[in-house]
């Protein structure tokens, strides 16, 4: 027998965002070294900040409905990365994490563009079955529908930035931090502090430094 898996924390991210990258590295440390469960979810910053979406809980403009060659370079890059990550996830949860981290590191550590070459390189570095990855990438309608499910859940929750973590009980918050936390003890300390803020009886809604 194995212990039941703990309920997962959803982590919403966009590959465009360096803070989401750090959030994913944090989650990965906790996942690998502390047995915390996280579920990878996609939230689009371009959609969230789109002028046609004044109410973030009821978007009129959805990223998954846009043509791949439409819009700004950031929009195209974000959509491309999301669809590729949905394709990678068809090879299982470990494949999804490996691809997600590989693509994030390519973008934010090695400063690559989120182009077709980066997507293929991330798939290769993540050890994906590349033939299957290409075949899954070709099912664009299916990938877009999977992305839509994430975008709809994010909108319902009112997600506005990444990374946003949603704890099993429903408590949720955007968490922006500047350090790359890859050591288990530091990761646990940050995670405990974040959860303590969300659990505070004072009803903390925001702590935000002026910039």
Nearest to 106 by CA among 92, 96, 119: 119
Fill in the DSSP letter of residue 53. Answer: -
Residue 41 forms beta bridges with which residues? Answer: 12
Convert residues 138-177 into a mask of x (bound to its own copies by CB under 8 A) and - (unbound): -------------------xxxxx--x------xxxxxxx
- The reply on whether position 189 binds its own copies by CB under 8 A is yes
- The reply on whether position 208 binds its own copies by CB under 8 A is yes
SS (H, E, C) 109-128: CCCCCCCHHHHHHHHHHCCC
Q: Rounded to the nearest whole angstrom, what is the least distance from the CB of residue 190 to its own copies in the complex?
A: 4
Candidates 98, 102, 106, 181: give the one binding its own copies (CB under 8 A): 181
> CB-wise, 75 or 162, nearer to its own copies?
162
# binding residues, its own copies (CB under 8 A): 36
Assign 167 to helix, strand or coil.
coil
In terms of C-beta distances under 8 Å and separation of at least 24 residues, what long-range contacts does 34-37 make, across chains too? 34/184, 34/187, 34/188, 35/6, 36/6, 36/9, 36/191, 37/5, 37/6, 37/7, 37/8, 37/9
Convert residues 45-84 into a mask of x (bound to its own copies by CB under 8 A) and - (unbound): ----------------------------------------
Contact between 173 and 198 (Cβ < 8 Å): yes
- The reply on whether position 113 binds its own copies by CB under 8 A is no
Contact between 43 and 154 (Cβ < 8 Å): yes
- The reply on whether position 205 binds its own copies by CB under 8 A is yes
Q: Rounded to the nearest whole angstrom, what is the least distance from the CB of residue 120 to its own copies in the complex?
A: 33
Q: Rounded to the nearest whole angstrom, what is the least distance from the CB of residue 159 to its own copies in the complex?
A: 5
Judged by the rule CB under 8 A, the positions of this chain that interact with its own copies are 157-161, 164, 171-179, 181, 186, 189-190, 193-194, 196-198, 200-211
């Amino acid at each position: 027998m194995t212990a039941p898996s703990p309920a997962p924390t959803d982590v919403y991210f966009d590959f465009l965002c360096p803070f989401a990258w750090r959030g994913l590295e944090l989650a990965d440390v906790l996942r690998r070294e502390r047995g915390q469960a996280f579920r990878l979810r996609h939230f689009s910053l371009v959609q969230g900040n789109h002028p046609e979406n004044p109410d973030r809980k009821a978007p009129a403009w959805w990223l998954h409905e846009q043509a791949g060659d439409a819009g700004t370079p950031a929009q195209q890059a974000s959509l491309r990365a999301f669809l590729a990550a949905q394709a990678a996830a068809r090879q299982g949860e470990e494949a999804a994490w490996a691809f997600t981290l590989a693509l994030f590191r390519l973008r934010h550590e090695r400063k690559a563009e989120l182009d077709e070459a980066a997507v293929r390189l991330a798939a290769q570095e993540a050890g994906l079955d590349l033939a299957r990855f290409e075949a899954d990438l070709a099912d664009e309608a299916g990938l877009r529908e999977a992305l839509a499910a994430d975008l709809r859940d994010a909108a319902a929750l009112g997600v506005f930035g990444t990374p946003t973590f949603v704890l099993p009980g429903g408590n949720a918050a955007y968490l922006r931090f500047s350090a790359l936390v890859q050591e288990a003890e530091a990761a646990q300390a940050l995670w405990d502090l974040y959860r303590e803020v969300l659990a505070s009886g004072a009803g903390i809604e925001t702590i935000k430094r002026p910039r």
